[in-house]
Structure 1
């Protein structure tokens, strides 16, 4: 797991400053503290750099990227892990390939000339983002894994394309413009991003399962984007009406075990994150069954008992004989680390769970672990979120008795009362644009789209005017592939929408890679193995949610591993306690408001209306309803977040900051 960066010039004769490439690696030193590398190709106008976190092939000199083939046709820099690479290496070696390293990344350089990019991607299993330059076509390819576990950003300057694993890597290049734009700001305040976008003008993400190809021609650069993979659910009438439960239960168990086995591959110890949920407990149980030694299990504990899952996590660790490590976090401690978290997430966060996870990765690093397995992806594939049950009850069970529907829905709301205003909407919200694509507005988007009027009121008047005709739901819906939605079961549609929005934009970003890699720690989400995912789409909806039971097929597959308490419990969303529940945390939040969102600072940043922000904060405690205060807590977090982003990425001279960082590290071009 590493950080990558690079430049591709419009004019191939335009020289590339090697030290600039090194500076772009240095500013993401946290992603790869074990060494750096850079390469340029003479008179080709292309240069890559790499910050290395050594996990596979620990030999620093041999495994150093970027890689260049002997004939200098191909140059590669890659972030992430490819599993099952040993089998592919063996097959390629039998075909005459000669490998220079033990790195999993090198298989790309041998697959590509033999079968082209599309077929190469079919062979890649894992979490990855890479840049590949091919002299034959004078083209650079930017590629991101199927679910977007690993980040990859790019932008176009007057002289070419700049890319990197993080936004700050792009901003380290002096030609990259740094400005928060209207749409980006608006979506930061309502939590839900438009897929492929960022908060910054002209800065793009390579979408999950996509390739961005940049070609040079007589007119300059030609940039094309195409999709190579998508999560594809069957047509509704193709699902089994009377499924054989045992078949699906056994297959899920088998495929998850295989995914875990692959992710145990490393030249360093592999631990596991452990909450009180079925997902992480399943991962720990399987990995402990495979391992010869006790697996190190890392658990976050909160000082609010209603949100703390430590007791169930401890029960699971004791059951399987894992070595549990608990990090107990106080309310005020989370906000003390909020600023540093935003520096790494490069987007706003609605809940301090992102801070908690960053502190946990720091704890993992402190006990000399670099790799953990995680449970992300399970709720997405097996319908674990309360929003999915709500959509299933409303749209997916047409023959359900009205009385039974009412009982199940009431149970859902009672068990998730803490999360109304975040995981569940405080009231129904309909986006005409999204409903026209999907057939309804999935519950997962409703809490955030419901904030649109609140967010609009917080903007400066000129920004409000610029966005007067803007429809955030339409902007999101326009990125969906309609062919993936037409004719699908309502539960499949709801899961597809979550995967395309909340999974990539939240769970895998500020809840995943960015806060994990902030402390040089690689997270491996076994549930997002695409072989497992492709099977999960074929599990009939009534086996994903059976009656009031979410993730039914997974629970049955893992029944022998799980504590009885957890097996019988409804899904409980894992998030940090909101600030309004605790006087110390609220005081810590207000301290941040005073530090970053005072009247003078808001006016200086020019993004928000200072009086509207002050009025919102003043009124936060006026509602007696928990769900109103949960929602407003989120918006206040977003306000502080955009102010920090403006200060850290726009007002600060990032290129100079990157140069200083390289000097401090002693990372200098030869």
Structure 2
């Protein structure tokens, strides 16, 4: 795991470039504290930067890696962030084919595969990665991001050149990068959901998951081609794999065992994150069986029993014989400087302070001597785990037409009303056009948008014009991947393309883990597991209202009975309004970042209307509405803090 950055600047490359590159590397220190490397080429006007967190090949594998072959051809240069699994087998095949290796690093296989297969090399890569290859013969920079966007990678093109980085702060460390915020992106962050590829900063873009960029120099300018090499393609409705239940169960079990085994491989100790959900518990159980020795398990515990899952996690740890470490997080831990640090590392706003809690956990894990954890993200996305997914299944699938299952589920999940579950139905014509219905997962954020719009200043509204963020999200989806699909497949696909990368894997994953130099490896998001999951029939993923049924059955032998039977419970931190200590802490942030001076400087909100909304929130005891106000306040504070912190 590492940080990468760089610039290709035909018109601005100078004696100052190396000093600028050093500052860009400084901004990525947390991603790679074990070393740094540079490739400076004044003839090509190119600088490539790498900061290293050493996981594999501890004494060999410094980057950039140069790809000159034994016959003198090549001259390729690689900087990579992440892990390539199954690399030992691929190294053996490549050696047999006449390719030599100069390091023990897994990253070097990308160079050899590119030399052998050209741009088709990405289909041979398995893992979590974001990397760049410079090809001097073709005058091209090849930039690749993994299939789900587990690892971040951003870019900017202007007259000053082409710039990139694992984090935007590394790019902004260069004086030629614009720092202007995009009003449309600010609105999207206020409602939580971003358009794929969008960032808060104008003209700075994220490479989309499953995509590569081919950047070709054309004199002093660049031609940028975006190419999709993978997508979460569900089969047409009725064309899923028609197999006996036991075969589906066994295939899932085998795929997960292989994925977890790959992610246990490292030259440093590997731990597991453990919550009270079946995903992390399944991973811990399988890791213990594969490793055949106690696994270190790290658990977050909140000071509110309604949101705390530590007791269930402990039951799983005892069953697996794991060495459990519980980090107990108090109300005051989630705000103040910790909140601001989470904003700094995430480079975006967040609706819930779970990201703050996970950042504190990553710090705790590294302080206990671990650099790598295996995590459970992705299971809900692939196997139909979220309540919002079931809500649409119950609502739109004829099998549930006369059932009260949807209403029963909402009652059981009432605590999440106002956040991940909408308290009333709402629709949008763009989603009706693209998907045939408005998915339940976006409806809470549409309700947030309804609450936000009246608080905006006239100046900010003028900047937005008639821009419709919900329509922009809907039209960003590839309709050809939705047409003819089952309703469950549609909602899973739309979530994977938006919220998985923009939320779960960002401020809930890589960005807050790597804030403390911790590599997280989500085993369910191995693309071999994913491609298997996509072909499983909806009624096997969700059976008789039981989410992730096939995963439960596959992992039944390692799960405690209470967990095997437990309904999915959204993992989030208690919102600010749930106790006086949290309310007092968020009030301090309001005073610092939402005061008259800050509101006037940023021009996003109408001060009188925002203050009236805050006073109403302080006096209200409506849980759903206060949860929504918590969301708005979290976003508003972060938006005002962002440019000062980064």
Conserved in 1, the CA contact under 8 Å of 2:159 and 2:221?
Answer: no
What is the rounded CA distance, in whole Å, between the counterparts of 1:158 and 1:344 in structure 2? Answer: 28
CA contact (8 A) 1:273 1:280 kept: yes
Correspondence for 1:104:
106
Q: Which residue of 2 aligns with 1:259?
A: 259
Please report the RMSD computed on the Cα atoms of aligned residues, expressed in angstroms: 1.4
Q: Deviations over 1:157-205 (max 9, x none)?
A: 3221110000101100100000111101101111111110011111100
* 1:15 positional shift: 6.4
Deviation for aligned residue 1:320? 0.8
- Aligned residue number for residue 531 of structure 1: 528
Distance 1:460 1:179 in 2: 18
Structure 1: distance between partners of 2:104 and 2:134: 21
Distance in 1 (alpha carbons) for counterparts of 2:455 and 2:135:
47
Return the offset for 1:574: 0.4
Task: Map Cα deviations across residues 81-138 of structure 1 (whole Å, 9 max, x no partner).
Answer: 00000000011111111111000010111111111022x1011000000011111210
Which residue pairs with 1:69 in the alignment?
Answer: 67
Partners in 2 of 1:412 and 1:10 — Cα distance? Answer: 59
Structure 1 counterpart SS, 2:107: helix
- Specify whether residues 509 and 525 from structure 1 end up closer, same or farther in structure 2 by C-alpha distance, changes over 3 A only: same
Contact 2:263 2:523 (C-alpha < 8 Å) held by counterparts: yes
Other-structure match for 2:442: 445
CA distances 1:298-331 after superposition (whole Å, capped 9, x unpaired):
0000010010001000000000100000000011
1:401-440 correspondence to structure 2 within 5 Å: 402=402, 405-406=403-404, 408-440=405-437
Q: Distance in 1 between matches of 2:381 and 2:10?
A: 41
Question: What's the counterpart of residue 348 of structure 2?
Answer: 347
- 2:87 matches 1:85: yes
The residue that corresponds to 1:122 in the other structure is 123
Aligned to 2:8: 8
> What is the CA-CA distance between 1:648 and the residue it aligns to?
1.8
Partner of 2:32: 32
TM-fit CA distance, 1:544:
0.9
Matching of residue 552 in structure 1 with residue 549 in structure 2: yes
Distance 1:394 1:410 in 2: 10
Matched ranges for 1:391-406 at <5 A: 391-396=392-397, 398-400=398-400, 402=402, 405-406=403-404
| Alpha-carbon distance in structure 2 between the residues aligned to 1:68 and 1:193 | 36
TM-score (norm 1): 0.94
SS of 2:636's partner is helix
Distance 2:223 2:10 in 1: 10
Provide the rounded CA distance (Å) in 2 between the counterparts of 1:293 and 1:554.
24
**Counterpart for residue 296 of structure 1:** 296
The aligned counterpart of 2:194 is 193
Of 18-27 and 636-645, the range deviating more from structure 2: 18-27
Counterparts of 1:38-437 in structure 2, within 5 Å, are 38-59=38-59, 62-70=60-68, 71=73, 73-118=75-120, 120-218=121-219, 220-239=221-240, 243-336=243-336, 337-396=338-397, 398-400=398-400, 402=402, 405-406=403-404, 408-437=405-434
Q: Deviations over 1:250-285 (max 9, x none)?
A: 100010111000101100000000000000000000
Instruction: Look up the match of 1:653.
Output: none
Answer yes or no: is 1:630 the counterpart of 2:627: yes
Task: Give the structure-2-normalised TM-score.
Answer: 0.97
Aligned mates of 1:192, 1:352 — CA distance in 2: 16
Q: In structure 2, the residue corresponding to 1:601 is in which secondary structure? A: helix
| 1:291 CA displacement | 1.1
1:623 shift after superposition: 4.3
The alignment of Structure 1 onto Structure 2 pairs a total of residues equal to: 641
Question: Where does the alignment leave 5 or more consecutive residues of structure 2 unmatched?
Answer: none
CA distance 1:477–1:400, change in 2 (3 Å):
closer
Instruction: Out of 543-552 and 19-28, give the one that drifted further.
Output: 19-28
